[in-house]
Amino acid sequence: MTLIEGLYTEGAPIADTAAPDGPIAEKWTKHQFDNQLVNPANRRKLDVIIVGTGLAGASAGATLGEAGYNVKSFCYQDSPRRAHSIAAQGGINAAKNYKGDGDSIYRLFYDTVKGGDYRSRETNVYRLAEVSADIIDQCVAQGVPFAREYGGLLDNRSFGGVQVSRTFYARGQTGQQLLIGAYQALERQIGAGTVKMYARHEMLELIVVDGKARGIIARDMVTGEIETHLADAVVLASGGYGNVYFLSTNAMGCNVTANWRAHRKGAYFANPCYTQIHPTCIPVSGDHQSKLTLMSESLRNDGRIWVPKRREDCEKDPREIPEEDRDYYLERIYPAFGNLVPRDIASRQAKNMCDEGRGVGPKVGDFRRGVYLDFKDAIGRLGEDAVRAKYGNLFDMYKQITGEDPYQVPMRIYPAVHYTMGGLWVDYDLQATIPGLFVTGEANFSDHGANRLGASALMQGLADGYFVLPNTIRNYLADGPYEPIDVTHPAVVEAQDAVESRVTELLGINGERSVDSFHKELGHIMWEYCGMERSEEGLRKAIDLIRSLREEFWRNVRVLGAADTLNQSLEKAGRVADFLELGELMCIDALHRRESCGGHFRAESQTEDGEALRHDDEFLYVGAWEWGGDDGNPILHKETLEYEFIELKQRSYK
C-alpha cells in the first residue's frame, strides 16, 4: 500500500516486543530470571563492542567489564569523559520518595507515560521507573557529589512541572558528575584490562554476518586507518541526532552516523520526527553561530516571560517599556500554569510571538528571534542576593555569552532543538531488529514517547547501561561465542570497501562548497519545516529541498586534506552526508503522522483555540521505518501501543 504519493510504503506490523507476560510490576524480575546466564569462565571468550561512552555507553562498558566480558569501547572524542552527557545541567529523576511526598515507582511510570503524550511503551517505562532508585545508590557509592542537605542526606528538587520532588542534582552540573562517575568506573575496567578503549575512533559501518550484528568498521581519527573490529554483539550508545538542525544544544560532534549506518543495514528507525525543543536557550546572535546554549529550565520558576504588546516597541530598551505595554503571554493564555507550561508549549508560543513580529533582540534574517525572561519581579520580591544564590552561575554564563547583565536587563531566550526522542527501534531487551545489535540511551527510541520529561534522559541512560542491558544481553551472549569470522568474509570485505570508497569519494569531489555550508542549509530547512510546527505543505517542500541539497552535496562539496591524518572536514562530511538522508526520513515520518502529539505539532491537527490535538484512533503506534534502499522508499512498520495500566487522556494545561 502506497501512501502520500509514493513517499513510503507500509510493511508488516511489529508483532512482538519480547516483553514477558504477567502483571507489570513483576515483568522485569521474571524476565531477568528467565534470561539465560553466562558462566563466568565463558565471559572472557565473549566480545562485546560498545559505541559511545556517554551515560548509556560508559555505564554498560563498566558493568560488562566487571562481569568479565571482553569489551571494546569507542568514542569520537579524545577521552571517554567528554561524551555529550556531560553537558546535562538539571538533574536525574528517581522514585526514591526520600521527601515522603507520595512518590512511587508507579507515579514516576505514570508521569513519564503521560509526559510522553501516550506514545511510549508501558512495559519499558515501568521498568525504567523500577530501576531508577538503584541508579542513585550506585552513583552515590561511586562518589558522585549530589547536592546534600545540612543533615548530610541527599537533597531533591521538583523539576519539569511534576508535583513531587524526585530530581537529584549536583548544582547545574548533574550530567558532568554522573558521567565522571561512570567514566571512572569505565577507566577502572580499562586499567583492569577487561575494557579496551578506542578514543578518537569513529564508527562508520556496521558489520552484519548471516543476519547478525558481528562488528563495526571504525576510522582511527588520528592516523586515518580504517579498522575492522569483530565481536559477538554490538551495542550502540551513540546519543541523539539533534545536530541535523545544525544549531542545537548538542555538542558539535553529535551525529547520527552510527545509528544511520545500522539503519541502512536493516535496523528500524523509530519515530525519527520526535524532537524536543527546549524553550530557554540563549538566542542566535548572527550567522556565525555554531551552537546554542541551554539555560536551565529552572529559570522559569522565578522569571516572567513577555514580549512587547506593540511591534514598534521591539527595538526599545526593555526597561523603558511600561507594564501596561508588556504581554506576559504565557500567563495570559495559560493562567493555571503560567510560565511553567511544558517545554513544547512554551517553545511554540515563543515562536508564535516572534512570527507575529513581536520578537526582541537583534534581527536575524527578517525576524527578531527572542522573548524576554524577566527577573525584575523576583529581584524585587526576593532581593538580588537570593536570586544570585539560586541562579548566579546561569546569570554569569548568560553574561559571558551575550555581554548583557541579566540583573539589570531582562534576559532574552529562544527555543532550540535539544533532544531527540526518536532513535533505533528496540524491543524489551533493547535489541534492534538486527539480532546481536543492542541500542541504549538517547540512541534508541524507547522510553519517552513523543516528549521527554526533564531529568529523565539521564535516568534512562544509566538505567539502560547499568541495569537493563547487562541483564538482557546475556540472554543473547549465552548462545555464543558465535561462529568465528575473519576479514575475508564477504560481508566484512563489503563493509570495509564501502567505508574506504566513501572516504575516497568525499575527498575526490573537490567542489565549491564547504561541508558546514551544506550543514547550515540542511539545518535551516529542518528548523523551518520540521521544527516546532509542521505542516503538510512545508514538509513536502522540505523533502524536495533536502533531496536537491543532497544531490548537490555529492557533486559539489569540498573536503580538503588527506585521508591518513586527523581531518576534521572529512569527519564532518561523513556526518552531514548521513544527516542529509536522515532529514528526509524525519520529514516523511512527520508528514505521515497527521496528528499533534508531544513535541510534534502538526498545523493541521489542532483544537479551535490552537492547542495540540492527538488522534489515538489512528496514530496510537510507534512508527518504525525500514531502510528501503538507495533508490527505494522507506517502509513503515507499526508497533501498536497497548495501554493496559494507564488510561489515555488528552493533555490540557489551560
Partner 1 sequence: MATVVRASETAGRRSSTVLIVATSTIAAGKRPKTRSILLKTVMAVTGLIFVGFILAHMYGNLMIFAGKEDFNEYAHHLREFGTPMLPYAGFLWVMRITLVVSLVLHAGSAFALWHRAGQARTTQYLARKGQWATFVKRSMRWGGVALLIFVVFHILHFTTNTIQIGGDYDNPADRLVASFGEWWAVLIYLFAVAALGMHLLHGIWSAGMTLGLNTSLDAAERLRLAAILVAVVVVVGFALPPVAILLGLIP
Partner 2 sequence: MKLTLKIWRQNGPDDKGGAVTYPIDGVSEDMSFLEMLDVLNEELIAKGEEPVAFDSDCREGICGMCGVMINGEAHGPERVATCQLHMRSFRDGDEIVIEPWRADAFPVIKDLCVDRGSFDRIIQAGGYISANTGSAPDAHATPVPKNDADRAFMAAECIGCGACVAACPNGSASLFLGAKITHLGEFPQGQPERDARVMSMTAQHDHEGFGGCTNLGECSRACPKGIPLNVISQMNGDLLRSLRHQS
Ligand X SMILES: Cc1cc2nc3c(=O)[nH]c(=O)nc-3n(C[C@H](O)[C@H](O)[C@H](O)COP(=O)(O)OP(=O)(O)OC[C@H]3O[C@@H](n4cnc5c(N)ncnc54)[C@H](O)[C@@H]3O)c2cc1C
Active site residues: 343
Alpha-carbon distance values, 579 to 17, 523, 549 (Å): 28, 9, 11
User: Residue 56 binds which one of partner 2, partner 1, ligand X, none, with CB within 5 to 8 A depending on kind?
Assistant: ligand X
Stretch 329-368: interaction string toward partner 2, x if CB under 8 A: ----------------------------------------
Distance CA 437, CA 473 (A): 9
Q: Phi first, then psi: what are they for 214, rounded to 5°?
A: -125, 5
Of 297, 290, 287, 274, nearest to 413 (Cα)?
297
Q: Which of residues 230-249 bind partner 1 (CB under 8 A)?
A: 230-231
Do the Cβ atoms of 323 and 426 come closer than 8 Å? no
The answer for residues whose C-beta is within 8 angstroms of residue 293's C-beta and 6 or more apart is 249, 281, 282, 397, 401
Opening angle at CA 259, ends 422 and 118, nearest 5: 15
Q: Does 141 bind partner 2 (CB under 8 A)?
A: yes
DSSP for 598-623 reads TTB-BTTSB-TTS-B---HHHH-EEE
Nearer to ligand X, 52 or 115 (CB): 52
Nearest to 427 by CA among 468, 368, 484: 468
Does 121 bind partner 1 (CB under 8 A)? Our answer is no
**Cell 540472554 belongs to residue:** 475
> How deeply is 285 buried, as exposed, middle or buried, from its count of CB atoms within 10 A (0-12, 13-18, 19+)?
middle
**Is 267 near ligand X (CB under 6 A)?**
no
**Which helix (DSSP H) or strand (DSSP E) does residue 168 occupy?**
strand 167-168
- What are the residues whose beta carbons fall under 8 Å from the beta carbon of 143, sequence distance 6 or more? 181, 184
- Build a one-symbol-per-residue string for 4-43: x at contacts with ligand X by CB under 6 A, - elsewhere: ----------------------------------------
Q: Which of the stretches 363-371, 554-562, 598-606, 640-648 binds partner 2 when contact is defined by CB under 8 A?
A: 554-562
Beta pairing, strands 275-281 & 269-270: unpaired
Query: 420 or 567: whose CB is closer to partner 1?
Result: 567
Site residues for partner 2, 475-534, by CB under 8 A, read 514, 516-517
Range 29-58, binding partner 1 (CB under 8 A): 47-49
Three-state DSSP class for residue 162: coil
> How many angstroms separate the CA atoms of 146 and 653, rounded?
32
Contacting partner 2 within 72-131 (CB under 8 A): 77-82, 84, 86-87, 96, 98
- CA dist., res. 411 & res. 279, Å (int): 13
Q: Is residue 558 close enough to count as binding partner 2 by CB under 8 A?
A: yes
Figure out which of the listed residues 7, 147, 190, 340 binds partner 1, where binding follows CB under 8 A.
190
Query: CA-CA distance, 161 to 451, in Å (whole number)?
Result: 13
Q: Which of residues 71-90 bind ligand X (CB under 6 A)?
A: 74-77, 83-85, 87-90
Q: Does 54 bind ligand X (CB under 6 A)?
A: yes
Binder to ligand X among 19, 24, 50, 56 (CB under 6 A)?
56
* Near ligand X by CB under 6 A: residue from 202, 429, 626, 639: 202
Identify which range of 194-202, 443-451, 461-469, 570-578 contacts partner 1 by CB under 8 A: 194-202
Binding mask 54-83 for partner 1 (x = CB under 8 A): ----------------xxx------xx---
CA 360, CA 195: separation in Å to the nearest integer? Answer: 51
Position 38, amino acid: V
285, 301, 556, 606: which one contacts partner 2 (CB under 8 A)?
A: 285
| Binders of partner 2 in range 50-69 (CB under 8 A) | 59, 62-63, 66
CA distance 394 to 400: 10
Q: Sketch the per residue contact string, 158 through 197, with ligand X: x for CB under 6 A, - otherwise.
A: ----------------xx----------------------
Nearest Cα to 52, choosing from 25, 71, 24, 33?
71
- The contact mask relative to partner 2 for 202-241 (x = CB under 8 A, - = no) is --------------------x-------------------
198-217 residues near partner 1, rule: CB under 8 A: 198-201, 217
- Distance between CA 470 and CA 587 in Å, rounded? 35
Query: Among residues 246, 466, 476, 621, which is the contact residue for partner 2, using CB under 8 A?
Result: 466
Q: Does 290 bind partner 2 (CB under 8 A)?
A: yes
Which residues in the 604-643 window bind ligand X by CB under 6 A?
A: none
Cα atoms in the 13 Å half-sphere on the side-chain side of 306: 24
174 neighbors 457 (Cβ within 8 angstroms): no
Of the candidate residues 25, 386, 560, 648, the single one contacting partner 2 (CB under 8 A): 560
CB-wise, 289 or 301, nearer to partner 2?
Answer: 289
Cβ of 18: how many Cβ atoms within 10 Å? Answer: 14
226 sits near partner 1 (criterion: CB under 8 A): yes
442 binds, among ligand X, partner 2, partner 1, none (CB under 5 to 8 A by kind): ligand X
Minimum CB distance to partner 1 smaller for 118 or for 183: 183
Q: Write down the least CB distance from residue 568 to partner 1, Å.
A: 16
643, 498, 517, 618: which is closest to 576 by C-alpha? Answer: 517
Range list of β-strands (E), 343-471: 363-364, 367-368, 371-374, 411-420, 423-424, 437-439
**Which residue intervals of 208-274 are DSSP H helices?**
257-264
220 binds, among ligand X, partner 2, partner 1, none (CB under 5 to 8 A by kind): partner 1
Considering only residues 457 through 516, tell me which ones interact with ligand X, judged by CB under 6 A: 457-458, 461
Closer CB to ligand X, 469 or 545, in the complex:
469
71 binds, among partner 1, partner 2, ligand X, none (CB under 5 to 8 A by kind): partner 1
Q: How many residues bind partner 1 (CB under 8 A)?
A: 32
Burial label, 21 (beta-carbon count in 10 A; 0-12, 13-18, 19+): exposed
Contact residues: ligand X, CB under 6 A = 51-57, 74-77, 83-85, 87-92, 174-175, 202-203, 237-240, 249-250, 255, 257-258, 294, 418-419, 441-443, 455-458, 461
Contact residues: partner 1, CB under 8 A = 47-49, 70-72, 79-80, 190-191, 193, 196-201, 217, 220, 222-223, 225-231, 486-487, 496, 500
